[in-house]
Amino acid sequence: MATRPIATTRSATGIPTGRLAVWWVIASEIVIFGGVLGSYLMHRLGHPEWEHQSVHTNTWIGAFNTLVLLTSSLCAVLAHNAAELKNGKKAANFLLLTCVGGLTFLTVKGFEWTHEIQSGFTMQSNMFWSFYYTAAGLHGLHVLAGVIIMLIVAADARKNQELQRVENIGIYWHFVDIVWVFLFPLLYIAK
């Protein structure tokens, strides 16, 4: 496997390469989620009768999951804080806590969906639910991907290696959190 090329260490913009790349990733993800959420929004506004469906989403579970993700974002930024102070072990631990948050989110969602499906609210039962599962599912995939990458970054950070990646994966994680911050009212509150 190639050792890090000189190219990676240069920084004509002043922004470290890894962080620059993460911002570009976020930019492309904004339009992906924008596409899903925009499509949902247009349909929802045109179909007022969907409120008979959306009333069945569980606001408390949604709120709990929001709390979980917000807390995990706190852990992610505390991990970054620790990395800046060159405390790799602390950073790794905070990252693990973030992962715990992410996995909790996914587990709660698993139970939530199971209950909803068993109540007959499947992806095919109504367009609202089609969007619900697709949008939240796409988000959930990003949560899972984030957890996996975070575990890898944490493993390196624990050895005080590649500490700059703690901030980078944190930025990604905060973005995933922000997407949920908008999904939550869309699917659970202003139904």
Partner 1 sequence: MSAEAHAAGHAAGHHEEGWFHKYFWSTDHKMIGMQYLFTGMAMALIGGFTVYVFRMQLAFPGVSVPGFGRVTASDYNALVTTHGSVMIFWVAMPVLIAALGNFLIPLMIGCDDMVFPRLNRLSYQLFLLSALILIGSFFVQGGAFGGAWTAYPPLSAKGVYNLTPQGASLWLVAVALEFVAFLLGGINFVTTVMNSRAPGMKMFDVPIVVWMIVVASIVFMASVGPLVAGAVMLLFDQNFGTGFYDPAKGGDPVLWQHLFWFFGHPEVYVVLLPAVGIVAEVITVFSRKKLFGYKTVLYTAIGTGVLSFFVWAHHQFIAGIDPRMANIFSVTTLLISIPVAEMMFVYIATLYGGSIRLKVPMLWSLAFIGEFLVGGVTGIFLGASGSDIYFHDTYFVLAHFHYTFFPIAFIAVFSAVTYWFPKMFGRMMNETFGKIHFWGTIIPFNFIFIPLFILGVRGDHRRIYDYTNFPDLMKPGMQDLRVLATVSLVTLLAFQFIFLANFFYSLVKGPKASANPWQANTLEWVAASPPPHGNFPEGLPTVYRGPYEYNHPDRPQEDYWPQNVAS
Partner 2 sequence: MSDTSHPAPAGTAAAAEGHAHVDHTQAYVKIWGLLVVLLVISVAGPFLGIRWVTLITAFGIALVKAYMVAKHFMHIDLERKWILYLMATMLALMAVMVGGVSPDVMQHQGRNWTNEAAKAAVEKGLKEAPAEHTEHGAAPAHGEGH
If one asks whether residue 27 binds partner 1 (CB under 8 A), the answer comes out as yes
**Cα(55)–Cα(9) distance, integer angstroms:** 52
**Cα(4)–Cα(28) distance, integer angstroms:** 25
Q: What is the DSSP letter of 14?
A: S
Candidate list 21, 38, 149, 150; residue touching partner 2; CB under 8 A: 38
If one asks whether residue 125 binds partner 2 (CB under 8 A), the answer comes out as yes
Candidate list 100, 104, 138, 164; residue touching partner 2; CB under 8 A: 164
If one asks whether residue 175 binds partner 2 (CB under 8 A), the answer comes out as yes
Query: Any residues with CB less than 8 A from the CB of 162 and at least 6 apart, and which?
Result: 153, 156
If one asks whether residue 21 binds partner 2 (CB under 8 A), the answer comes out as no
Q: Does residue 33 contact residue 179 with C-beta atoms inside 8 Å?
A: yes
| Residue ranges binding partner 1 (CB under 8 A) | 1-2, 5-8, 10-13, 15, 17, 20-21, 24-25, 27-36, 38-39, 42-43, 47, 123-124, 126-127, 130-131, 134, 138
